[in-house]
């Protein structure tokens, strides 16, 4: 591979005219220059496509692909990823701000891993720092076990850069699940994950966004007081179909559930034992101490459905 491999940046847009120019400026001005920039627009009704075409006309590295029909968030990313031809692929939202050395640092750091990602700083819709990072909410994982991604995900799409060879391990994407979660699981299974302990993106938070982590976390905390729902059998079945290393273990967890996602009454102690067996990895991403994690597992397994 060249010392300056081609990095494809897959950008998905949909009615993002308000912040798109700022995002694109932070990409075309990256210190790493060997870029292929793929923009796939999902039938925007505002000026998003016009802005994208303006940037494409001024920078030959940019190619714009307008969809004929709306694909939705996950399938649009699948389309954009499929169009990339570089040695590496980085994903990009339409409204964040990248540090200008983001791609260079990721190229330097990936080594032999399948994927490298970094921390991100939360900012308001106006771009003002919220004095918080993703690493303040979640422990950030580095390694080659997929177990931390059975229940949680710490890798946001905008933060990851992966080897293009990983693509075949997660496409087609299931639109029921976030694309970055599926990619994280595949990377852990197929070469491992590296982490850069720097906030290389200003991650814009919106009141109505599916990617507003601060809002989603608050909503999950409210729900968790009523019902612990981190175990998602449908997602586990997807992981079972993809895993190389943990097929038997995931099958054992799934066997503790009924067809309607409830824990079988006669399997609660077995499920507790299975989760405790690997709790350091399964619950690595949660910001809880040893005893809190054990108590959390107890509540998950012995709740009343």
The three-state DSSP-derived secondary structure of 98-144 is ECCCHHHHHHHHCCCCCEEEEEEEEECCCCCEEEEEHHHHECCCCEC
Handedness of CA 279, 280, 286, 292 (dihedral sign): positive
Q: What is the pLDDT of residues 9-38, one digit of tens each?
A: 999 999 999 999 999 999 999 999 999 999
Place of tokens 């580095």: 142
Quick one: which of 148, 258, 132 has its CA closest to 195? 148
Residue 243: pLDDT over 60: yes
- Mean pLDDT for the chain overall: 92
Q: Quick check: 217 and 131 in contact, CB under 8 A?
A: no
Task: Give the pLDDT of residue 3.
Answer: 82
Domain with CATH 3.90.550.10 in the chain: 7-209
- Quick one: which of 277, 72, 80 has its CA closest to 178? 72
pLDDT at residue 223 is higher than 50: no
Residue 211 has pLDDT above 60, yes or no: no
Q: Regarding predicted confidence, which is higher, 120 or 210?
A: 120
Q: How many CB atoms lie within 10 A of CB 304?
A: 6
pTM: 0.91
Buried b (16+ CB within 10 A) or exposed e, 107-123: bebbeebbbbbbbbbbb
Burial of 29 (0-12, 13-18, 19+ CB in 10 A): exposed
| Residue 153, both tokens | 């995900």
Rounded Cα distance between 186 and 63, Å, is 27
Higher pLDDT, 272 or 207: 272
pLDDT tens digits, one per residue of 124-171: 999 999 999 999 999 999 999 999 999 999 999 999 999 999 999 999
**39, pLDDT greater than 80:** yes
How far from chain centre, in Å, is Cα 239? Answer: 15
pLDDT score for 230: 61
> Across residues 167-179, what is the average pLDDT?
96
Cis peptide before 172 (omega within 30 of 0): yes
Classify burial at 274, counting beta carbons within 10 Å of its beta carbon; exposed 0-12, middle 13-18, buried 19 or more: buried
In the structure, what pLDDT confidence band is assigned to residue 218 with cuts at 50, 70 and 90?
A: very low
* CATH class belonging to 7-209: alpha beta
In this prediction, residue 1 has a pLDDT band, given cuts at 50, 70 and 90, of low
Rama region for 74: left / alpha / beta (φ>0; ψ in -120 to 50; rest)? alpha
Measured CA to CA, the distance from residue 190 to residue 86 in angstroms comes to 19
Residue 197 φ then ψ, to 5° = -85, 60
CB-CB contact of 72 with 42 (8 Å): yes
**Which tokens belong to 275?**
């989760």
Q: Tokens 């968030």 identify what position?
A: 73
């Amino acid at each position: 591979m060249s010392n300056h491999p081609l990095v494809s940046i897959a950008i998905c847009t949909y009615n993002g005219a308000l912040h798109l120019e700022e995002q694109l400026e932070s990409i075309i001005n990256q210190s790493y220059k060997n870029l292929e920039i793929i923009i796939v627009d999902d039938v925007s009704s505002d000026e998003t496509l016009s802005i994208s075409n303006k940037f494409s006309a001024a920078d030959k590295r940019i190619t714009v692909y307008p969809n004929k029909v709306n694909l939705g968030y996950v399938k649009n990313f699948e389309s954009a990823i499929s169009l990339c031809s570089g040695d590496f692929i980085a994903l990009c939202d339409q409204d964040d701000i990248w540090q200008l050395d983001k791609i260079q640092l990721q190229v330097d750091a990936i080594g032999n891993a399948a994927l490298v990602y970094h921390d991100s700083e939360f900012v308001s819709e106006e771009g003002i720092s919220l004095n918080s990072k993703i690493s303040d909410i979640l422990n950030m994982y580095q390694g080659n076990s997929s177990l931390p991604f059975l229940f949680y995900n710490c890798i946001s799409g905008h933060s990851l850069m992966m080897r293009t060879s990983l693509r075949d391990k997660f496409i087609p994407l299931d639109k029921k699940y976030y694309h970055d979660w599926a990619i994280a699981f595949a990377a852990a299974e197929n070469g491992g994950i590296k982490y850069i302990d720097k906030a290389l993106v200003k991650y814009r938070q919106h009141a109505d966004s599916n990617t507003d982590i601060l809002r989603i976390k608050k909503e999950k905390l409210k729900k968790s007081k009523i019902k612990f729902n981190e175990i998602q059998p449908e997602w586990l079945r997807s992981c079972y179909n993809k895993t190389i290393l943990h097929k038997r273990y995931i099958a054992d967890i799934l066997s503790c559930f009924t067809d309607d996602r409830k824990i079988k009454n006669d399997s609660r102690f077995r499920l507790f034992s299975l989760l405790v067996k690997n709790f350091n990895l399964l619950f690595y991403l949660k910001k809880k101490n040893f005893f809190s994690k054990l108590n959390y597992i107890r509540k998950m397994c012995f709740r009343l459905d």
